[in-house]
Amino acid sequence: MTYFYFVYLILIVLILVVARHGFYRISHYLHIYQQHGYKSHEYRAWLWPKVAGELIKGPHLFVIPLFLIGLIQSQLTWTAFTLSIAVFGIFYFGSVKYLRSDRPKKPLVYTPRLSRQAVIAFSLYGLFAFLGIWLGMQSPQMGADVSIIMVMMILADIASPYLVLIAGLITRPLENYYQEGFKKKARKKLASMPNLKIVAITGSYGKTSVKFILKTLLQERYQVCFTPGSFNTPMGICKVINNDLNAGHQILILEMGARYEGNIKELCEIARPHVSVVTNVGVAHLETFGSVDMIAKTKSEIIEHMHPGGTAILNSDDERVLAMKNIREDVTVIRAGLNTGIFRVADISYDQDGCHFQLTDPEAITAQVKTPLLGEHNVANLLLGFGAGRHFGLRTATMAVAARRIEPVEHRLELRKNGNITVIDDAFNSNPVGAKSAVDVLSQFNSGRRIIVTPGMIELGERQDEENELFGRHIGKSGIDEAILVGPGTAPIQKGILAEGYPESSVKIFGTLFEAQDYLKTSLRDGDVVLYENDLPDSLEQA
């Protein structure tokens, strides 16, 4: 009798091992779902091209020994059959290493929203498992109980990507209800603060950088509340308004992001801006917008939905942005561009301390500006900040002094030292303008070898290969010493680099960022400068 208890114990262990694999597999797809902003259509778009490879993984080949052992079931005792299945099952499902990363770049975060979705997804998996156990217990045939349990659990494991999708669809009405409540609360709070000035920033690139520039400049005179990091969605904005904004604040600075037409309008309906800043119109999120004209139209919503008599700070070097000055006659326009704005810039240079240039304002007052920010595009971002500062009455000299205290946004041309190695971290950049500017910055360093590590740019739609090849050509002409290409889809970059006569031996290609980092650990020398350019999200690396 004790022997049979032991066999049942082995069977329970087998079920727990398979269930553990299911837990990690569902967690993996929850992570991917979260990376796609909880948007079911984007998750489906990611999943569909690779559906076969994602549904059937190595552990699911357990069905082969399960079938073969079933063929000789009549020749085995129940104990022998169960132990045989258990040995193979534990072997196939015992490892979850391929579903786990010891160094995730954007780890899974169990927010309240994700937790609700996880409960549904795990419950659906559990239904499969319990149905299998129940059916197995009903079977009068020896060994069928174990087989049925395993088949149902394997099916649940295979279906994991879609269990996550179904859970997202089930929880969507509840999430919509919560979101409307948060929006209503935020609008009510803003209505109770009539003297608060709202500054909103949008554009294809540079929103977060301009936001932190503005925060530093305006804090010279005002009490400022602002959204942290890249909080630029309805819920991100509502969270800051509801939790961080208080009666003592005079200015609220919001970053407004968009992936689809109408996104900016939705944000303006929560917090209608008095001052709008538009950085540029580019090809970011071209996959979802479909055309640059549609991107421009969506960005212009921030002007359309401003308070009457507001002020627009426009990048006058961008034709599409400058055209927004014609949208409303009651809006005051301040032009801020490197070449055509109200400020003039001269003698831009970079070193290990950051960027230096001379600034002249419309009254011909000149100031020397020093800032930790790097890149010509960041000088353009500073000019947008100076334009907004001028609107709020700040003197040019005051803003020049404040510019010294502006800290780079994390992972956006962030300059730091790693021993005797200089690192330029631009890993969160993903646009052609910023990428080329980062290469130009790298090329100006002369302390040692200049090395770029990049996977290229994504989410550029039909122009992705073209833009990456142009990016490669820019690298090839820059004079930097080594190019390290990472992940899938780097062929256009390599093609562009080599087209400029760049030495093929100086181009290294790796499958993952971690492999590239392992290579750098053994190859870097004192004085070298390494630029990490563009982001390689976990979902792309696993593609």
What is the domain-level CATH number for residue 261? 3.40.1190.10
Written as one letter, the residue type at 410 is E
pLDDT of 542: 39
The pLDDT assigned to 271 comes to: 96
- pLDDT-derived band of residue 166, with 50, 70 and 90 as boundaries? very high
- Top pLDDT among 470 and 142 is at 470
Residues 297 and 275 in one domain: yes
Of 220 and 283, which is predicted with more confidence?
A: 220
Residue 103 confidence (pLDDT):
52
Structure-derived torsion over alpha carbons of residues 31, 108, 155, 150, reported in degrees to the nearest 10: 160
Domain count, the chain: 3
pLDDT of residue 4: 66
Q: Does residue 398 sit in the same domain as residue 490?
A: no
In a shared domain, residues 391 and 452: no
Query: Across residues 194-223, what is the average pLDDT?
Result: 94
In a domain, 408, yes or no: no
Is pLDDT of 367 > 60?
yes
Q: What integer is the mean pLDDT of 159-167? A: 94
Q: 112-138 and 160-191 are packed helices; what angle lies between their axes, rounded to 10 degrees?
A: 150
Asked if residue 530 and residue 392 are part of one domain, the reply reads: no
Model pLDDT, residue 543: 33
Give the integer Cα–Cα distance in Å for 237 and 227. 7
Give yes or no for residue 276 having a pLDDT over 90.
yes
Give the residue among 491, 486, 494 at the shortest CA–CA distance from 537.
486
The whole-angstrom distance between residue 366's C-alpha and the CA centroid of its chain comes to: 39
Report the pLDDT value the prediction gives residue 274, as an integer from 0 to 100.
97
Name the average pLDDT for the chain: 87
What residue numbers bound the domain in which 117 lies? Answer: 2-173
Left if phi > 0, otherwise alpha if psi is -120 to 50, otherwise beta: which for 373?
A: beta
47 is written with which tokens? 């999943």
Average pLDDT over residues 502-513: 91
In a domain, 184, yes or no: no
Does 188 reside within a domain? Answer: no
CB 286 within 8 A of CB 459: yes
How far apart, in whole angstroms, are the C-alpha atoms of residue 217 and residue 81?
74
Count of H helices and E strands in the chain? 22, 15
Q: Is the pLDDT of residue 102 over 60?
A: no
Give the pLDDT band (50/70/90) at residue 143: low
**What is the rounded CA–CA span in Å between residue 48 and residue 497?**
32
Is 80 exceeded by the pLDDT of residue 270?
yes
Quickly count: other Cβ atoms within 10 Å of residue 43's Cβ: 22
Domain assignment of residue 183, yes or no: no
Is the same domain home to 165 and 229? no
Amino acid at 88: F
Residue 535 counted as domain residue: yes
Q: Are residues 77 and 215 in the same domain?
A: no
What pLDDT does 539 receive?
44
Q: Residue 59: pLDDT band by 50, 70, 90 thresholds? A: confident
Instruction: Kindly state whether residues 93 and 208 are assigned to the same domain.
Output: no
230 & 344 share domain: yes
Q: Is residue 394 part of a domain?
A: yes
Which of 481, 517, 512 is closest to 497 using CA atoms? 481
Q: Which pairing describes strands 224-226 and 311-314: parallel, antiparallel, or unpaired?
A: unpaired
Report yes or no: 472 and 480 within 8 Å, Cβ to Cβ: no
Residue predicted with more confidence, 65 or 351: 65
Based on the fold, state whether residues 468 and 498 are members of the same structural domain. Answer: yes
**Final residue of a domain: which of 370, 403, 436?**
403
- Order of strands across the sheet that contains 507-510: 414-418, 421-426, 529-533, 450-454, 482-486, 507-510
Residue 187 lies in a domain: no
Residue pLDDT, tens place only, 380-423: 999 999 999 999 999 999 999 999 999 877 777 888 888 888 88
Residue pLDDT, tens place only, 315-338? 999 999 999 999 999 999 999 999
| Judgement on whether residues 56 and 118 belong to the same structural domain of the protein | yes
Q: Does residue 495 share a domain with residue 425?
A: yes
In a domain, residue 272? The reply is yes
Among the residue ranges 10-19, 87-96, 143-152, 170-179, the one predicted with the least confidence is 143-152
